[in-house]
Structure formats: structure tokens, C-alpha cells
Amino acid sequence: MIEAVLAGSLAFIMFSLGLSLKPQDFWVAFQQPKTLIAGALVQIALLPIIAFILLTLFGLQGQLAIGVMILSCCPGGITSNIMTKLSRGDVALSISYTSLASLVTAGTLPLVLSVTAPILLPQQNIELSILPLSLKVFCLATLPVLLGVWLSQVAPELATRWELYSSRTANTLFVLVLLGALISQWDVFIANLPILGPILLLLNLLMLSVGLGIGNLLGLKQSQITSLAVEAGFQNGTIGIVVGSLISDELVQAELSRFSLPSAVYSILMMLTIIPFVLWRRYSI
């Protein structure tokens, strides 16, 4: 039951993201080659690599490690766009990053998992056939975005009316499901927090720093650097939780699988770093 609710929530969240987009939003980064290179380097390449290095350094393997890799392949979401705005970042660029990352996730996520799963979970044969998993991720994450963009073009007035309500509804639904699942597995959450907490917090801090560093190295504007850092350090936990459930048969009733648990933990812990970051960029830059 919860698997269907989570999948429906993800599709609805991504659809509401699509409602807020226009076709030109996908091309903002292409009009600025340096920002496109920075975004691709940080989000698509460095994030999974850094996550894998941290897992190796901490010696974490098994299903939780795969869950961290799933998270590292997730794009930002509507929340990252909001945080970018609050941080006085380039919102158009943030939306462009989110849009492009949401489109490529269906290909990059299964590919990264197919490479890292045999190393991190050698004792278990996970069904990670790239094409089937890509199709599932595409249907749940990419297709709803495209449908939202299409609706915003063919029925802009309807899309505008739906956008605010659908975004609030989708995020509220996800928070309720996430809290319900965490409460039902509170002992598991607390037991794994000492293991996952340091890795996830360090991953978040490193990616915020990498985003800032790459942006400064390429000479981007401060608003663009802020957007890059937020997108690098703010992953869509909804996708991670749902993908974790797709490759696990442990999700029953109101329980999250161990593949999904890192994304659920991250969705809470990242607020400890993103809020100070937002305040710093908003009032000091």
C-alpha cells in the first residue's frame, strides 16, 4: 500500500514541478555553457563519485550503501528551487538544472547502480537491469514533468490554477507518508542514524562546498554559484525512497526498505545544513 502511495506522491510532485516550467526553462543552462558544464560536473559526475568515496572511507556496504548511491543520483526538486530563491540565487538557472537533471535521471541512476551494486552488495543479486529500471524511473519522475510542461502550454490558465494547489498537496502528502513510515520504524531509524548520519551530513556539506568551489573556479556570478551549490547539496529524497522500493521486496504495509532509508534520513538531516546556508547566502553575499 505504501509503495503505491509513495509512487503516486512522486509522480504528483514531479507533475506539479512540470506545471511550473516552460520549454525555455530547459535551455537556460545551454545559453550559458560554463554554468551547464558546472551543473553537469557537480550533479551528474561528482555527486555519485563523492558518495562512493565516503562509503568506502566509512566502510559501509550492503543495502544502506546502495540506498546512499540511489540518493546521490537523484536530482533536486521544487524545494531546491524555493531554497535557491530564499538564498538570492539564480532561480531560472536552478529551475533549468532541476529540469535537465530530472530528465537524465532515468538513464544515469540505473547506470550508476549497475556499476556500484556489485561492489557494495556483492553477496546479493539485485535486479538492476538498466532498461526496466530506467523505464520505471522515467514513468515516475520524467514523464510527469513532461506532462506538466505540456499542460502548462496547452492550457496555461488551468495550469496556473493547479500549480499552487498541486505543489502544496504533493509535498504535504509526501511529508505525511514519510513521517508515518519513520514513526512506524523509529527504532530502525534511530539504530541506523549513527551509521548514516555522519555520511549523509558530510555528503551534504561536501556537495555544498563543491558547488561553491566549482562555481568560483569557473568565475560564475554569485547568484549562479548559489544556485549550483543548492542543486548540488539538495537531493530529491522522494525519488530515492521510491527507487529504493522498486528494487526491494521488503516494503510492506508502512515500512521503508533499507534501500530507501538513507533518502528518508537525508530528507530530514539536510535541513540542518541547508537552512544555515540559505541564511548565509541571503544576508552575507
- CA angle 149/153/154 to nearest 5° reads 120
Q: Using alpha carbons, select from 87, 95, 78, 267 the residue that is nearest to residue 163.
A: 78
CATH code at position 227: 1.20.1530.20
- CA angle 34/74/171 to nearest 5° reads 115
The tens-digit pLDDT sequence of the chain (285 residues) is 556 666 777 777 778 777 777 777 667 777 888 888 888 889 889 999 999 999 999 999 998 999 999 999 888 766 787 788 888 888 778 878 877 887 788 788 888 988 898 899 887 665 555 566 667 777 777 788 788 888 888 887 777 777 767 767 766 766 776 676 667 667 777 888 899 999 999 999 999 999 999 999 999 999 999 999 998 988 887 788 888 877 765 444 445 678 888 988 888 888 888 889 989 998 886
Q: How many domains does the chain have?
A: 1
Is 199 in contact with 60 (CB distance < 8 Å)? yes
Written as nine digits, the cell of 106 is 532515468
Query: Which residues contact residue 182 at a Cβ distance below 8 angstroms, ignoring those fewer than 6 apart?
Result: 189, 256, 264, 268
Q: Using alpha carbons, select from 217, 234, 237, 216 the residue that is nearest to residue 225.
A: 216
CA–CA distance, 246 with 242 (Å, rounded to integer): 6
Domain of residue 141 covers 2-284
Tell me the pTM: 0.82
Is 72 in contact with 112 (CB distance < 8 Å)? yes
